Structure 1
C-alpha cells in the first residue's frame, strides 16, 4: 500500500458543542443540524447507516431518510429483504449520520416499526416511475442469475404497466425508527470531541449528559 493508513488524520476545528446550545428535545435538535446541512448544499445529507441484528451478528447498510417528524425517522424498503427479515426478528436498531463537512455525527438507537399502508402508498405514488418498476423487479437480497436477467425482468414489467399507474408492491413500504437514545458528536481539536447524549426517561422526557470522547 502506498499510504500509511495509521498516519491519515485530520484535526477538527469547525466549532464546539455545549449544553447551552442544545434544544431540550433531540428530534428538534436533529432538525436544526439537518437544516444547516441542507442549506450548505452537502450531497446526500439524508444518507444514514442502518444497523440491525438478527442472530447475534450485526449487519449495516446505507439507506435514505425520507421523513422526520416528532416521533422518529422514516425510510422505505423491501420488507422481504435481508434487513426486513432482521427487523422482523429484532426490532432494536441503530442509525448513524455523518456529515464530514460539519465535522458532525449523530447516533440514534431505538425501536423500529412499519409505517401505515397509507403512508407507504403516499410515498410510493411520488417515486420516479423507474423506481416504482424497480420495486417490483428486484427481489432484494436474493440471488439473481445475472445483470441481464434483472434488466429483462424490468423490461417485462415496463411492458406490463405501460400506460397505467404502477401499484405499490405488497412487500414494499416504510419503517419508522422511534429513538430512545440520541448522541450528538462534534469534532474538536486533539480528539477531545464533544459528545452530548439524550436518553429517554420513564415519563417520556429526555435526560442530557456529556460523555468523554
Structure 2
C-alpha cells in the first residue's frame, strides 16, 4: 500500500456546531471551551503545543501542560535551562496550540513570554507531588545523559538528600505567555471551517472572522 492510499484513509469531513455566539473577551471564550474539553473527558485537555524559536531563528515545538490561565496569560512550568527555557530567554515570543481534535476544535495563542514571580513558582512547586519535586532537581532537562541508570542514580541521591521537603530549584519556574492574538477554530463540513481571531490593539481586543 503506497503513501497516497494511506493518506486517503485519513480523509474525513468535519461537522461541528457553527461558531457564531462567542464572548467579547478571548479569555472568557477560552474558559468556555476549556470547560467543554474537560466535561467531554478528553485525555489531557490542558496539553498544549509550545512553539519557540532561538535568537538565530531555529524553531522548536513540544507538548507541555497548561497549569493556569487568566487575563494575564497562559502559564506553564519548566527548567529554565532546557531548550525551551533558553529559547525564551533569547527570544521571548511563543505560540501555543490546544489540539482538541475529538471535539473538532483548536485554539491558537501568540504572544510574549516572561517568567512568573518567584512567589508564584514557589507556591506551585510546593503543591506538586514529592516525586515530581525531586524529579525537577534530578533532570538537567535537554542535557545529554549517558544512560537511564545515570538518571535513576541521581534521583536516588537527591531523594536521600531531601527525604521530605526539597527546596525550589533556582533554575526551575513558571513562564507566562501573554497573548497578543488568540484564534478559535471550529471544524465544519466541506472545509468551510470557522476561524475567529481576537487581536489586541491599543489595549483592547478586536474580534475578526478569518477565511478558512
Aligned-pair Cα RMSD in Å:
1.1
The alignment status of 1:67 with 2:65, answered yes or no, reads no
In the alignment, the residues of structure 1 paired with residue 155 and residue 80 of structure 2 have an alpha-carbon distance, to the nearest angstrom, of 19
- Per the alignment, residue 198 of structure 2 pairs with 198
Unmatched 5+ residue regions in structure 2?
Answer: none
- Per the alignment, residue 57 of structure 1 pairs with 58
- Per the alignment, residue 35 of structure 2 pairs with 35
The alignment status of 1:189 with 2:189, answered yes or no, reads yes
- The Cα offsets for residues 123-170 of structure 1, whole Å up to 9 and x where unpaired, read as 0001111110000000000010100110011011111112x3111111
Runs of 4+ deviating beyond 6 Å: none
SS at match of 1:152: helix
- Per the alignment, residue 118 of structure 2 pairs with 117
- Per the alignment, residue 100 of structure 2 pairs with 99
Unmatched 5+ residue regions in structure 1?
Answer: none
- The Cα offsets for residues 35-93 of structure 1, whole Å up to 9 and x where unpaired, read as 11111111100000000011112100000000111111000000010000000010111
In the alignment, the residues of structure 2 paired with residue 15 and residue 99 of structure 1 have an alpha-carbon distance, to the nearest angstrom, of 15
- Per the alignment, residue 210 of structure 1 pairs with 209
- Per the alignment, residue 148 of structure 2 pairs with 147
- The Cα offsets for residues 73-118 of structure 1, whole Å up to 9 and x where unpaired, read as 0000000100000000101110000111210001100001100110
- Per the alignment, residue 13 of structure 2 pairs with 11
TM-score scaled to structure 2, two decimals?
Answer: 0.96
In the alignment, the residues of structure 2 paired with residue 207 and residue 77 of structure 1 have an alpha-carbon distance, to the nearest angstrom, of 32
Higher mean Cα deviation, 176-185 or 1-10?
1-10
- The Cα offsets for residues 161-203 of structure 1, whole Å up to 9 and x where unpaired, read as 12x311111101000110010110000001110001111011x
SS at match of 1:165: coil
Query: What is the aligned length?
Result: 209
In the alignment, the residues of structure 2 paired with residue 31 and residue 155 of structure 1 have an alpha-carbon distance, to the nearest angstrom, of 40
In the alignment, the residues of structure 2 paired with residue 14 and residue 65 of structure 1 have an alpha-carbon distance, to the nearest angstrom, of 25
